[in-house]
Amino acid sequence: MTSIRRCLPILLLLAVAGAARAQLNSFTSAPNLQPAQLAIVINDAEPNSVKVGEYYRKRRNIPAANVVHVNIPGKPHEISAERFEALKEEIDSRLGPNVQAVLMVWTAPYKVACNSITGAYTLGFDASQCVKTCASGRSSPYFNAKSSQPYTDLKLRLSMLLPTESVAEAKALIDRGASSGFRIVPATAYYLVTSEKARNSRAGFFPPPGRIEARKLSTKTMQADVLEGAQDVMIYETGMAQVTKLDTLHFLPGALADHLTSLGGDLLGEGQMSSLRWLEAGATASYGSVSEPCNYWQKFPNPTVLLKHYVQGNSAIEAYWKSVAWPTQGLFIGEPLAAPYRKRR
């Protein structure tokens, strides 16, 4: 993780943050992704994928026509670009035009060379990023977009990974997502400015402290390396290689949490903290990089943009994807349909 990169003129950077912040207390609920618009991909070579995929299909009433079965033996962490292209073609050939997003039900593979599997699936594999992973990334047309139908409007399908290391934990994660839209409860979005200065590159985008009354949601910025004991967590964003005290927190259904560090998306790696730890602690969705991205804020969730779209009623997969400007190396994980602030129909 290198020193802070300033890749956009500062006035443009502030304009993006300012425009999003201005909408936080003045918004109308947006339509969110529906089960009929989501496809799930099950790896028949992995028993846990089969069990969790079937549970998810029933729990979320996913149409049978939206279920795709593939075979990826051996549970590799990474697959080649050639193997990925064949996999993507196999998946896409079975999807109708109504499908706006795809959920891959497995933990691994999660990498395609230096690309995340979700970045490669949604935007297409980018070999140029692998020449120098610390170079700037390819811009996502979905960043901070108003679209509620990304495939219809932009010809890209959002994607997310639902980890399956533990069937029991995966089911609990699914249940958290499914229960998240039941009712609005008092909650807090926590943003930490830490002592790891290089990992604070998005701190300028932290929403101002305050309260969004219509959502019973408070926003709180802290100068601290750790959040301890909070029992009302809806969002937790920080910059640390390792995040401690997660066992002292209570994440509400639909909670989003991520840490800006180099390899959070290396789910089964042994270096920095894996983004899986957020889900195990009770979060419903998370994000992390699978290869060294350096600390461009554009390669990580923009806190204000993420918050804006989530409180407007977008689902977790929509809000997270809209918050990342350069998502090629970033892995989106969790329960995609979670929407605690969804528009009631």
7-16 pLDDT, tens digit per residue, is 443 334 444 4
* Dihedral sign for Cα atoms in the order 274, 116, 301, 2: positive
- Whether the upstream peptide bond of residue 109 has omega within 30° of 0, thus cis, is yes
Strands 217-223 and 187-193: parallel
Predicted pLDDT at 1: 60
Strand (E) or helix (H) holding 127? helix 127-131
| Listed residue (339, 334, 327, 336) closest to 120, CA to CA | 327
Predicted pLDDT at 31: 74
pTM: 0.93
8 Å CB contact between 148 and 328: no
pLDDT at 156 over 90: yes
CA distance 57 to 46: 17
| Listed residue (144, 132, 75, 138) closest to 105, CA to CA | 75
Predicted pLDDT at 344: 62
- Does residue 57 sit in helix, strand or coil? helix
Query: How many helices (H) does the chain have, and how many strands (E)?
Result: 10, 14
CA distance 133 to 293: 6
Name the band, by pLDDT with cuts 50, 70 and 90, for residue 81: very high
Residue 205 DSSP symbol: G
- The domain segmentation of the chain, as residue ranges, is 10-334
Considering only residues 318 and 270, tell me which one the structure prediction assigns the higher pLDDT: 318
* Cβ partners under 8 Å of residue 132, min gap 6: none
Give the Å distances, CA to CA, from 245 to 146, 190, 199, 235: 36, 14, 19, 16
Calculate helix-pair angle for 10-22, 303-311, nearest 10 degrees.
20
Give the Å distances, CA to CA, from 228 to 96, 186, 236: 45, 18, 11
Q: Give the alpha-carbon dihedral of 72, 317, 119, 35, to 10 degrees.
A: 50
Q: Kindly state the average pLDDT of the residues 80-109.
A: 98
Name the band, by pLDDT with cuts 50, 70 and 90, for residue 150: very high
Phi/psi of residue 332, each to 5°? -95, 125
Residue found under tokens 């639902």: 162
8 Å CB contact between 234 and 220: no
Calculate helix-pair angle for 167-179, 47-59, nearest 10 degrees.
20
Percent of the chain surpassing pLDDT 70: 91
Residue 30 DSSP symbol: P
Q: Model confidence over 271-292: pLDDT tens digits?
A: 899 999 999 999 999 999 999 9
CB burial string 159-196: b at 16+ within 10 A, e below: bbbbbbebeeebeebbebbbebbeeeeebbbbbbbbeb
CA distance 137 to 296: 9
